[in-house]
Amino acid sequence: MVVWLFLHIFGFGLWLGGGVALLLNGLAAEKEGRPALGLVMRLQSGIARFAVAPGALLTTLSGLMLTFGNIHSPTMGNPWMATMQGLGILAALLTLAISVPAAARLARLDPMGQHATFFDRLRKRQRLVGLLSLTMGIGALLGGAMYRYGG
């Protein structure tokens, strides 16, 4: 049980840390010219593939193992636990189904070429979904903290 909890916290750190890195990288990229966006998107794709996606998978799988280990515990009815689980699963689905594939596609597109308008739309969608996923992840973190220390 302790190993699953460690993996859960480690994965969550990778996931949210990578999400914050993507957010800050995107904010810093606003000051760069259009030709530099290709490099920025390749960097963001690497962060998404090597930190965000594995963190989301590790957190979700270890969370499921923790849940199955405590399925008959009276704490499973706690609303903060349900908040953590619900927001975490929704955030993982958004991250793995939309945000990470969009980052990979953006890394392959040329921001100056014939697909520039598609590049801009996809970048806007990735930014919105990434921010929503990060907000849900922080909400899940808050739910876990309230479950553990507040109530």
Q: Based on the structure, what is the number of domains in the chain?
A: 1
Per-residue pLDDT tens over the stretch 107-129 = 999 999 898 999 999 999 999 99
Percent of the chain residues past pLDDT 90, beyond the cut: 77
Q: At what angle do helices 37-47 and 100-108 cross, to 10 degrees?
A: 150
Residue 151's pLDDT is 65
Percent of the chain residues past pLDDT 70, beyond the cut: 99
Per-residue pLDDT tens over the stretch 10-42 = 999 999 999 999 999 988 988 888 889 999 999
Q: At what angle do helices 116-145 and 2-29 cross, to 10 degrees?
A: 140
CA 133 to chain centre: 6
Query: What residue type is assigned to position 147 of the chain?
Result: Y
Residue whose entry in the numeric block shows the structure tokens 């799988």? 61
What is the residue range of 137's domain?
Answer: 2-150
Q: What is the pTM assigned to this prediction?
A: 0.89
Distant-in-sequence, close-in-space partners of 13: CB < 8 Å, separation ≥ 6:
55
Per-residue pLDDT tens over the stretch 129-139 = 999 999 999 99
Cα separation of 63 and 32, whole Å? 39
Q: Is 9 exposed, middle or buried (0-12, 13-18, 19+ CB in 10 A)?
A: middle
Per-residue pLDDT tens over the stretch 71-95 = 888 777 789 999 999 999 999 999 9
